[in-house]
Amino acid sequence: MGEIDSSLLERGQSSLPDRNLGMELVRATEAAAIQASAWIGRGDKDSADGAAVTAMRDFLNTVDFEGTVIIGEGEKDDAPMLANGEIVGNGNGPKYDIAVDPVDGTSVTAEGRAHAISVIAVSDRGTMYNPKDVFYMNKLITTIAGKGVVSLDLSPAENVRELAKALNKDVSEITVAIIDRPRHREIVDQVRLAGARTRLFLDGDVAAGVHAVTGSGGIDMLLGIGGAPEGTISACATKALGGYMQGRLSPLSPEEMKNAILAGHNLEKIFEIDDLVASDNTYFVATGVTDGLLLNGVYRKGDLIRTESMILRSHSGTIRRVSADHIASRWKNKRSPYDLNGF
């Protein structure tokens, strides 16, 4: 056998078994979730987020890769932490784009409610869409059955009817996940009038989107306006799971609208999944922070800290669920993530 081309190995284009970057990235979402969990129900979402960011960053920097942060915590003036453009990883190995959401659901975490997760998504360098200066995106996510059937150009009622037809179901058997916000009143009304059910979430359209892609959790479709950066993250999960997704930038305030236009964004354009992530080589890794439909949250009993995570990889199509028991006392004298100040 000749010399092995390591870049082909990394990309899964060799006939030999290759590395799964997600297996290492999961330590970063675990660490972030553990640190955020110290703040569950304490009414302080900034501390929950800050703790998660620090832990995630420290662990990312142990991983053999060079990741450019495309979706980060924004360009903060003070102590940039996982800011857009920052390079993470130890610099050895392949170059990727990376999107992080150390806690998707900081408010629910602070309030002690369900469905908060910690997330990382990765794709080949130069392939991730950055919706810079726009906070909001209108999203539509389904299984692959929705391809060529549903569209953001159709009304919610039409989408429900078309999806039911494609799935060979009665409309009454369709459930649509929607983030519970006043801006979604019209969508909720239309879905129900069409004869379908709604499943309303307080927060967390990344986790709900994973259900919509797989048709799990009793969810057939996700509709509504959530975070634009998280739209790119959901696209990485949708690629890995082989589902269907569209997005359209949806600035909500006049100022956001102005910034979007100044940044040259096309607000009419429907983004297909390849527009959101141009690569077929994506990873999506998530760990539960608070108990949710997708993942259990961090559980602690004495010395034991238990986390539940999922690792998705588009190239192989593997879906891993990783349950980890962390023994807190073994880590007491080390740095994050298990310095248990917050517990």
Q: Looking at beta carbons, which residue is closest to ligand VTB?
A: 226
Establish if 73 lies at the interface with ligand VTB (CB under 6 A).
no
Among positions 167-196, residues that touch ligand VTB (CB under 6 A) are: 179, 181
In the complex, minimum distance from the CB of residue 109 to ligand VTB, in angstroms, rounded to a whole number: 12
**H-only helix segments in 194-293:** 205-214, 228-241, 254-262, 273-276
Query: Of the candidates 10, 220, 230, 308, which one interacts with ligand VTB according to CB under 6 A?
Result: 230
> Cβ closer to ligand VTB: 121 or 305?
121
Q: Which of 149, 212, 153 is nearest to 179 (CA)?
A: 212
Among positions 275-334, residues that touch ligand VTB (CB under 6 A) are: none
Query: Of the candidates 24, 30, 97, 203, which one interacts with ligand VTB according to CB under 6 A?
Result: 203
DSSP label at residue 186: H
In the complex, minimum distance from the CB of residue 108 to ligand VTB, in angstroms, rounded to a whole number: 8
In the complex, minimum distance from the CB of residue 227 to ligand VTB, in angstroms, rounded to a whole number: 3
Query: Of the candidates 146, 226, 288, 297, which one interacts with ligand VTB according to CB under 6 A?
Result: 226
Establish if 49 lies at the interface with ligand VTB (CB under 6 A).
no
Query: Of the candidates 67, 156, 227, 251, which one interacts with ligand VTB according to CB under 6 A?
Result: 227
Stretch that binds ligand VTB, among 12-20, 224-232, 284-292, 333-341 (CB under 6 A): 224-232
CA–CA distance, 237 with 177 (Å, rounded to integer):
17
3-state secondary structure 42-81: CCCHHHHHHHHHHHHHHHHCCCCCEEEEEECCCCCCCCCC
The DSSP element (H or E) to which 320 belongs, if any, is strand 319-327
3-state secondary structure 82-101: CCCCCEECCCCCCEEEEEEE
CA–CA distance, 190 with 117 (Å, rounded to integer):
29
In the complex, minimum distance from the CB of residue 204 to ligand VTB, in angstroms, rounded to a whole number: 5
Establish if 24 lies at the interface with ligand VTB (CB under 6 A).
no
Q: Do 106 and 116 contact (CB within 8 A), yes or no?
A: yes
Q: Do 278 and 177 contact (CB within 8 A), yes or no?
A: no
Contacts with ligand VTB by CB under 6 A lie at 104-105, 179, 181, 203-206, 226-227, 230
